């Protein structure tokens, strides 16, 4: 009888572990999405700042900000791919 109870408890614990692992995976995905959003927002701010500078005659800053935005997005996508 104790063995059967132990097996039931083991199944319950395994189910709880699986649920926690699914929750962890979901949270990791949400974290990656939030990270991507943050990087995109930061890049947008950098781009807007560079555009203001461009209106003052500094075209190079726009190109650097655009390259930085692309690099940031590539880095995030590479991390997401590595997590899959």
- Reported as a single tens digit per residue, the pLDDT across 66-76 is 888 888 888 88
| Residue 35 in tokens | 């990270």
Mean pLDDT across the stretch 11-34?
A: 92
Q: Which of the pair, 44 or 26, is modelled with greater confidence?
A: 26
Per-domain residue ranges for the chain? 2-83
Q: Assess contact for 50 and 67: CB atoms under 8 A.
A: no
Q: Is the confidence at residue 39, as pLDDT, over 70? A: yes
pLDDT of residue 11: 92
Q: What would the two tokens of residue 40 be?
A: 């995109």
Mean of per-residue pLDDT scores for the chain? 85
Give 60 or 22, the one with higher predicted confidence. Answer: 22
């Amino acid at each position: 009888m104790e063995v059967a109870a132990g097996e039931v408890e083991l199944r319950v614990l395994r189910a709880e572990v699986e649920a926690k692992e699914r929750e962890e995976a979901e949270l990791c995905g949400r974290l990656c999405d939030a990270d991507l959003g943050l990087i995109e927002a930061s890049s947008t701010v950098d781009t807007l700042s560079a555009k203001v500078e461009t209106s003052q005659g500094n075209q190079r800053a726009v190109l650097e900000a655009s390259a930085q935005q692309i690099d940031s997005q590539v880095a995030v996508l590479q991390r997401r791919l590595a997590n899959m």
